[in-house]
Chains A and B, each alone.
Chain A
Amino acid sequence: MATGVAKENWVERIRDPKIECMSKDEMTALQSKRLVDVVNRVYDHVEFYRKKMQDLGVEPGDVKGIEDIGKLPFTTKEDLRENYPFGLLAIPKKDVIRVQGTSGTTGKLTLASYSQKDVDVWGECVARCLTMAGLTDEDIIHVCYGYGLFTGGMGLDFGARALGAMAIPMSAGNTKRQMMCMEDFGATAFACTPSYALYLAESIQEAGLVDNMKIKVGIHGAEPWTEEMRKKIENILKINCFDIYGLCEITGPGVAQDCIYHAGLHIHHDHFYPEVLDPVTHEACADGETGELVFTTLSKEAMPLLRYRTKDLTSIDHSTCACGRTLPRISKFTGRTDDMKVIRGVNVFPTQVETALLSMGGAVAPHYLMIVDREDNLDVLTVMVEVDESMFSDEIRKLDALRNKIGTVLKQALGVSVKVKLVEPKTIQRSEGKAVRVIDNRNL
């Protein structure tokens, strides 16, 4: 049996101390050099950026360093869609060695292209994250993110390869087989979405297999999750879990991850330059202020992006972390600008529902789905919650009381009334990519 390591017994490993602990001045110089280079490359080779910069009256020579980044145009997801599939390439198509795409819930998918160097940088960044999670070339990493266009599976695979660890390319699905391989191969770490991690953890617990597993680390990302959810997975499996962040437009998982101090996610800003901006005024937020995360890829060859608006809401902290890294930290995501629902004028994020359900001390499983309807011109929020054995009562009045209690807790947390619907266990779909937490039936 493996057990999670307490913070006081933790041995911090840093894969690339020169970069990860670099002084501000040195890093600024490196970023400036790379920014000037990328701006020249996109101006010369990507018509879209050349036009955008010309529209703003900006020439490559106007950008002398990272302090000039505010002069550059933004890129949005819509821009990527309009230039689908290969309109933003800055290198000849024959030098593209692979593509990855988003799980695109609406319309066409978003495609990202990679050169050999892009894939190497991606693997290196994931390897930094795995090292941050305490893993070495002796570890066995069970990857149950989906392999395919989705970046999760390949990203972790590239990271394991760069680290020299053993990767088990399980891909998603078939929980019984996942558990069997995890046990038989002696996996010491696993990587998947947090919602699937919880589902897998519960399945391992139900099967009485927790003590047979050698797992000590979980690497989870691709959807927002809460501290409470992390602790829940950690407690079931007796492991340390880490929050890995990324998006395929920028590279995939490995753009950022938290360390054992869980005080925000360290961004590899030598490759991905972060800005946190007010979503409306586009003014830079001060450290600690919440705004939209915007990335500029500093080293990407195939499809570099200038000031890509992620729609993820966060705040940034540039102070040196207790782990020793100077990589700035973004706070755990409060949500995405497009996940946020305005319900009767109140901003509601799915993560608030998760936090509220988990705050009920294990009485309620954090498997939920929010459904927003409009009835008689009034928004109605229904939250479907799965009934599990611990909360199930033989008596209707007790189930009704529980339902009312969940309703009260949610109303206090969200500030809007909520209709709670109890549903059968495992009827809410578990995600292998990003979990669907909200269905909005309003035609706004």
Chain B
Amino acid sequence: MIQQLSVFVENQPGSIMRVTSELTDAKINIRAIASFDTPEFAILRLVVDQPERAKDDLTSKGFVVRLQKVISVELKDEKGNLNQMLEVLAKGGISINYIYSFVIRGDKAPVMVFNTDDYEKAEKVLKEAGVKLIDEADL
């Protein structure tokens, strides 16, 4: 499991930039970013190299931030791999709240990040199916 940063932003020009510029000033490296919007606000989700420090820094600048545990798995870049992982979760009765992907630099494989209400069960079924889960240290 890894820590993900969730930030509340209003739908306005520049609102994502205000978050990234704070993180730049704090010399925090952003590994992944995803935004899910409603007509008025959005939740900006980020995977960064120092999540605790990023949260403290953003909070002190007046942002509302949450650290959220999410499951991340490494998938080989091959046809059908994503489908296979989703099949494992579906069979295990695991509901996915949201999912996004990113690629770590170098020769590593793509990472899928997802959020679910039942982490333990999700980890268990994925491990049993031989899917590689990754931790902060692997990033």
Q: Are B8 and A424 in contact (CB under 8 A)?
A: yes
Q: Is B62 within 8 A of A395, CB to CB?
A: no
Q: Is B115 a contact of A395 with CB atoms below 8 Å?
A: yes
Q: Is B109 an interface residue (CB 8 A)?
A: no
Central interface residue in B10, B45, B65, by most chain A CB within 10 Å: B10
- Nearest residue (CB) in A for B98 is A395
Which B residues touch A422, using CB under 8 A?
A: 8, 40-41
How far is the CB of B59 from the nearest CB of chain A, in Å?
Answer: 8
Question: Which residues of A420-438 have CB atoms within 8 Å of chain B's CB atoms?
Answer: 421-427
Quote the shortest CB–CB distance from A176 to chain B (angstroms). Answer: 11
Given the known inter-chain contacts A387-B8, A395-B115, A399-B43, please indicate yes or no for A424 contacting B36, CB distance below 8 A.
Answer: no
A421 to B41: give the CA distance in the assembly, Å: 9
User: Is the C-beta of A400 less than 8 angstroms from some C-beta in chain B?
Assistant: yes
- For the complex formed, measure the closest distance between the CB of A426 and the CB atoms of chain B, giving whole angstroms: 5
Contacts A387-B8, A394-B115 given: A425-B64 contact, CB under 8 Å? Answer: yes
The count of chain B contact residues (Cβ–Cβ below 8 Å) is: 22
B123 to chain A, nearest CB (A): 18
Docked complex Cα distance between A396 and B42 (Å)? 8
Does residue A55 face the partner (Cβ distance < 8 Å to B)?
A: no
- Distance, CA A154 to CA B51, complexed state (A): 47
A94-151 at interface with B (beta carbon < 8 Å): none
Which chain A positions have C-beta within 8 A of B65?
389, 392
Asked if residues B64 and A389 are in contact (CB atoms below 8 Å), the reply is yes
| CB-based nearest A residue for B9 | A424
Q: Are B62 and A425 in contact (CB under 8 A)?
A: yes
- Chain A positions 384-424 with a Cβ under 8 Å from a chain B Cβ: 387-389, 392-397, 399-400, 421-424
The 5 tightest CB contacts between A and B, nearest first, are A394-B6, A394-B68, A392-B64, A426-B62, A387-B8
* A388/B64 in contact, CB under 8 A: yes
Give the shortest distance, in Å, between A252 (CB) and chain B (any CB). Answer: 33
| Chain A residues near B41 (CB-CB < 8 A) | 387, 399, 422-423
Residues of chain B lying within 8 A (CB to CB) of residue A423: 10, 41
Q: Name the residue of chain A whose CB is nearest to the CB of B4.
A: A394
Within 8 Å of chain A (Cβ to Cβ): is B83?
Answer: no
Q: Assess whether A424 is in contact with B43, with CB atoms less than 8 Å apart.
A: no
Q: Are A400 and B38 in contact (CB under 8 A)?
A: yes
Q: Does the CB pair A387–B64 fall under 8 Å? A: yes
Q: Are A392 and B97 in touch, CB under 8 angstroms?
A: no
Question: How near does chain A come to B103, taking the closest CB pair, in angstroms?
Answer: 23
For chain B residues 92-110, which have a beta carbon within 8 Å of chain A? 97-98
Query: How far does the alpha carbon of A247 sit from the alpha carbon of B68 in the complex, in Å?
Result: 49
> Given A400-B38, A422-B41, is A394 in contact with B66 using a C-beta cutoff of 8 Å?
yes
| B residues near A389, Cβ cutoff 8 Å | 59, 64-66
